């Protein structure tokens, strides 16, 4: 039974989908959770829904000053920071590389890659000062295989894996473990925003288990990696993909 009593956690992109499921499982397992998302109202509403003392803030992870303020808020409210899930991510326009809009490229890289760096950049010093911590960066199966019309997304998710490995090497001596999770297609708002019903059922069929995953199935793995049960796991990438990449 995994417990996070007396721990403080930050989850970015926590007002929807996978981030919300992770925030909920952490809070139900004893952590004080800060839900960070673009809209203050959405984050506050979701924190209230979760209960268990969950708090919230408006944070755009693509803005380093806002990420720094998010970390400071967690420490100001709870006196510590133990766990971070860099989960916020966007899909971006669906275009082939030869036609990809430049602003769309920069937006996806800013959120999905720079946002993860900023999270670690500001959280790690606080974790180190507090004696250690654990971080999960939300990658994707698209961190290890390509996907037509999603070049910045795929590039950011691949890059995240190198960033995760390197930060894990650098901060192992600080008692901070850092891992990446690679979900297959998970039925969330991100999927409904970008893919029509036919495409969704086609993609579901590409998984060996012939369905998309649920946010809760990603939360279970993420919380395991964050916990003391995973005390010998760092710098690695863990799939929760229904067999998508096994084929």
- Which chain residues interact with ligand NAD by CB under 6 A? 12-13, 15-19, 37-38, 59-62, 87-90, 111, 115, 138, 140, 183, 185-186, 188-191
Taking the complex as a whole, the smallest distance from the CB of residue 5 to ligand NAD amounts, in Å, to 26
Neighbours of 172 (CB within 10 A): 13
Which is nearer to ligand NAD, 132 or 146 (by Cβ)? Answer: 146
Which is nearer to ligand NAD, 95 or 174 (by Cβ)? Answer: 95
What are residue 106's phi and psi, to 5 degrees? -65, -35
Taking the complex as a whole, the smallest distance from the CB of residue 101 to ligand NAD amounts, in Å, to 17
Of the candidates 153, 202, 237, 244, the residue annotated as catalytic is 153
Taking the complex as a whole, the smallest distance from the CB of residue 152 to ligand NAD amounts, in Å, to 11
Pairing of strands 83-86, 8-12: parallel
Taking the complex as a whole, the smallest distance from the CB of residue 173 to ligand NAD amounts, in Å, to 28
Please provide the DSSP assignment of 64-125 as one string.
Answer: HHHHHHHHHHHHHHHS---EEEE--------B-GGG--HHHHHHHHIIIIIHHHHHHHHHHH
Which is nearer to ligand NAD, 104 or 130 (by Cβ)? Answer: 104
The verdict on whether 244 is a catalytic residue reads no
Which is nearer to ligand NAD, 1 or 198 (by Cβ)? Answer: 198
Provide CB contacts within 8 A for 102, sequence distance 6+.
none
User: How far is residue 218's CA from residue 242's CA, in Å, rounded to a whole number?
Assistant: 11
The residues carrying an active-site annotation are 153
């Amino acid at each position: 039974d995994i417990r996070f009593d007396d721990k403080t956690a930050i989850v970015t992109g926590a007002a929807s989908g996978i981030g919300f499921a992770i925030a909920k499982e952490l809070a139900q397992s004893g952590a004080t959770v800060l839900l960070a998302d673009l809209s203050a109202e959405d984050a506050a509403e979701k924190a209230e829904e979760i209960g268990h003392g969950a708090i919230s803030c408006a944070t755009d992870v693509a803005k380093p000053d806002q990420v720094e303020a998010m970390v400071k808020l967690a420490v100001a409210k709870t006196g510590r920071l133990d766990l971070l899930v860099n989960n916020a991510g966007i899909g971006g326009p669906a275009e082939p590389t030869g036609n990809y809009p430049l602003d769309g490229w920069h937006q996806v890289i800013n959120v999905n890659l720079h946002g993860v760096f900023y999270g670690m950049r500001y959280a790690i010093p606080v974790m180190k000062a507090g004696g250690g911590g654990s971080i999960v960066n939300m990658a994707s199966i698209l961190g290890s295989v390509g996907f037509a019309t999603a070049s910045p997304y795929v590039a950011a998710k691949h890059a995240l894996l190198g960033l995760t490995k390197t930060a894990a090497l650098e901060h192992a001596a600080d008692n901070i473990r850092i891992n990446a999770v690679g979900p297959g297609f998970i039925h969330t708002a991100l999927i409904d925003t970008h893919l029509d019903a036919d495409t969704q059922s086609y993609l579901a069929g590409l998984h060996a288990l012939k369905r998309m995953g649920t946010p809760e199935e990603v939360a279970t793995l993420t919380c395991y990696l964050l916990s003391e049960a995973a005390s010998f796991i760092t710098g690695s990438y863990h799939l929760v993909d229904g067999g998508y990449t096994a084929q």
